[in-house]
Amino acid sequence: MKRLKELPGGVDVVAQLADLKEVDYKNTLVVTALVELLVEKGLLTRQEVIQKARQLDVDLSLESDRSLYAN
């Protein structure tokens, strides 16, 4: 606690982190609900969602690596 008092606005930083955690939870909940509904309606399979997520992760990682070397 002593460290927070030493930091200007330390309490604000902690509050902002708590807010971000709440937003992240709500976003995750909505995405999960959407995927579940799409699967229930037979528009997607869980495997398709997993494959797409993995592909996007790879693509974003490669893009990030390229931007490191672009400068």
Does 40 or 2 have the greater pLDDT score?
Answer: 40
Least confident of 15-19, 25-29, 59-63, 64-68: 64-68
pLDDT of residue 64 exceeding 90? no
Q: Please give the average per-residue pLDDT across 13-17, as a whole number.
A: 90
The answer to whether the CB of 11 falls within 8 A of the CB of 4 is: yes
pTM for this entry: 0.66
Tell me the per-residue pLDDT of 40-60, one tens digit each, with 9 for 90 and over: 999 999 999 999 999 999 999
User: Domain limits at 16?
Assistant: 2-70
For 19-45, give one letter per residue: b (16+ CB within 10 A) or e. Answer: eeeeeeeeeeeeeeeebeeeeeeeeee
Instruction: Tell me which residue of 56, 54, 29, 53 sits closest to 37, measured CA to CA.
Output: 29
Number of compact structural domains in the chain:
1
